[in-house]
Structure 1
Amino acid sequence: MIYHGKKGQYTGGEAIGILTLESSPVAFIPGDVNNASTYPFPIRYQNVDGFSVQKAIGKDPSIYKNLLESAKSLEQQGVRAITGGCGFMGIHQKKLAKEIEVPIFLSSLTQIPFISTIIGIDSKIGVITANAKNLTADLLTAVGVSNSSNLMIAGLEDQPNFDQFAIKETGRLDVEAVKNEVVDTAKELVADDPAIRAILLECSLLPPYALSVQNAVNLPVFDYVTMIKFVFTAVVQCSYKGFL
């Protein structure tokens, strides 16, 4: 087999690139998108200069230039697909996808059309987000959601432990307290609308609590990590061994 090097690429074997926010000290625990041990395959991270949590949730268009530069850097480093470190990055999904050659899937919200298809036309998706007030129609449109009538959205912006950890970025994470806030939010969603047949965790900080949510509501739970693993299997296919 003959391989050819790519100019500007200094490492190999990192199929998935992740664009990260410029965060204050945050405890990225296993299961978090920003913890490399979350994945059974290598990850390449790329920080986006100046892209704060506030700019992400506020969907600040001025950050796009930096986002594009960081995505191009990941592409040059040889990744096969690029995702984001915040669901609200999805506002840039369509624009960035036009300028980058590898697949782009910036937000966990891009899974909504797929989930809607597999749960049935009369069923609903419970979406737990970092900030429900800013998860607006323009963001949903940008990630390919043309009809949001089947979405039941609940935000964590008023949950004190999540707010201190994720939004105010105090540097302190009480895992049990945040887990309880997320689980209670999921239980309330399902209790309020029995038509919910799946849960989607929007925020990149929420996958560590997905199992607890599933145990509490007994529904399929989608998040950033389910999306990243799915795309990885598409861009890194494998051979099969077995028997008949």
Structure 2
Amino acid sequence: MIYEARPGQVSYGEAIGVLLLDTFAPFIPGDVGNASTYSFPVRYKVVKGFTAERIFNHDLTVLDSLMEAGRELVNEGVKAVTGDCGYMALYQQQLANELEVPVFLSSLLQVPFISRMLKRDEKVGIIVANSGSFNSTLLNAVGVTEDIPISIKGLEDKKNFHQAAIIETGTLDAEKIEQEVVSASRELTAQDPKVKAILLECSMLPPYGAAVQKAVNLPVFDYVTMINYVYTALIKRPFTGFM
């Protein structure tokens, strides 16, 4: 087989490109920002100056920087571009229109898919980083229309999560945050028994998905379920076995 180099590309084999917020937090295994989360290589690109504060304020002035970082990932050879904050839904369509590869910035893109798995009156429960910044603008940007039943629970009042993810103290107590995320999931399902599936919106939450599932006994989706799903569509493997 003959291979040809791509102009401007000096490394190969990274199908998924991840646009990162400019944050100060430890990314533990299972986090979107930790490369050991995946069974395949990923490529990261920090969007300088794109802070959590700016995204929670729905700052559209970062779009040019986000576009440029996305173009850099494409030029470096990725086959699709994702992000590390569900609130990147705000920029989903603009980047999808601009980049030459598929774009799936927000974990919230899974909501319509999850909803269609459920009965008509059953709900998708969404655990979000900051419910105060979570609104219909975000949802509409990724195709979550008013006819899709959802129920929202924020983590902004959970002390350890708030310090690690929103204040960004630079430290993270995984055991305490797991307890908080499990507690929020139990509160959500107790308050709204029609919730029959959970989506963990924040890219820092996949490490706690197994504990959430054990606590509420429901399907649990997150950023990593989405990234793995897209990867299997980008990189098809031949089947082996026997009959």
Partner of 1:108: 107
* Identity rate, percent: 52
Q: Return the offset for 1:148.
A: 5.8
Q: Which amino acid aligns with 1:184?
A: S
Identify if the C-alpha distance between structure 1 residues 28 and 180 changes in structure 2 by more than 3 Å, giving closer, same or farther.
Answer: same
Q: What corresponds to 2:90 in structure 1? A: 91
The alpha-carbon deviation at position 147 of structure 1 amounts to 2.3
> What residue number does 1:51 align with?
50
- Paired with 1:100 and 1:126, the residues of 2 have a C-alpha distance of 31
Report the CA distance between 1:2 and its aligned residue: 2.0
User: Do the aligned partners of residues 3 and 120 (structure 1) sit closer, same or farther apart at CA in structure 2, a change above 3 Å counting?
Assistant: farther
Q: Distance between the aligned counterparts of 2:147 and 2:124, measured in 1?
A: 10
SS in 2 for 1:18: strand
**1:102-141 → structure 2 map (5 Å cutoff):** 102-141=101-140
RMSD: 0.9
Q: Deviations over 1:92-120 (max 9, x none)?
A: 00111000111100000000010011122
Trace 1:1-244 onto structure 2 (pairs within 5 A). Answer: 1-24=1-24, 26-147=25-146, 149-244=148-243
* Cα distance change, pair 148–160 in 1 and its aligned pair in 2 (3 A): farther
Q: Distance in 1 between matches of 2:182 and 2:157?
A: 14
| 1:32 partner SS | coil
The C-alpha deviation readout for 1:177-211, integer Å capped at 9, x for no partner, is 11111000000111111111100000000000000
Rate the CA distance shift 1:131–1:81 in 2: closer, same or farther, 3 A.
Answer: same
Which residues of structure 1 form unaligned runs of 5+?
none
2:19–2:47: 8 Å Cα contact kept in structure 1? yes
Greater shift after overlay, 221-230 or 189-198?
189-198
TM-score (norm 1): 0.98
Q: How much does 1:57 deviate?
A: 1.4
Q: 2: CA distance between counterparts of 1:4 and 1:55?
A: 41
The answer to whether the 8 A contact 2:115-2:148 is kept is no
Q: Alpha-carbon deviations, 1:27-53, whole Å to 9, x = none?
A: 111000000000000010001011001
1:156-182, CA deviations, whole angstroms, 9 ceiling, x for partnerless residues?
A: 111111110000000111111111110
Deviation string, structure 1 residues 46-98 (Cα, Å, up to 9, x no partner):
01011001111111000000000000000001101110011111100011100
* Secondary structure in structure 2 of the residue aligned to 1:119: coil
How many residues align structurally?
A: 243
User: Quick one: distance in 1 between partners of 2:73 and 2:148?
Assistant: 36
Q: Alignment partner of 1:154: what SS?
A: strand
In structure 2, runs of 5+ residues without a counterpart are none
SS at match of 1:34: coil
CA distance in 1 between partners of 2:23 and 2:241 (Å): 46
* Structure 1 letter corresponding to 2:107: S
Counterparts of 1:238 and 1:120, CA distance in 2? 33
Worse overlay, 186-195 or 144-153: 144-153
Return the letter of the residue paired with 1:204: S
Q: Which SS does the other structure have where 2:117 is aligned?
A: helix
Judged with a 3 Å threshold, the aligned counterparts in structure 2 of structure 1 residues 175 and 143 are, in CA distance, closer, same or farther, namely: same
Moved over 4 A (4+): none
1:243 CA drift (Å)? 1.3
Q: For residues 120 and 242 of structure 1, what CA distance do their matches in structure 2 show? A: 36
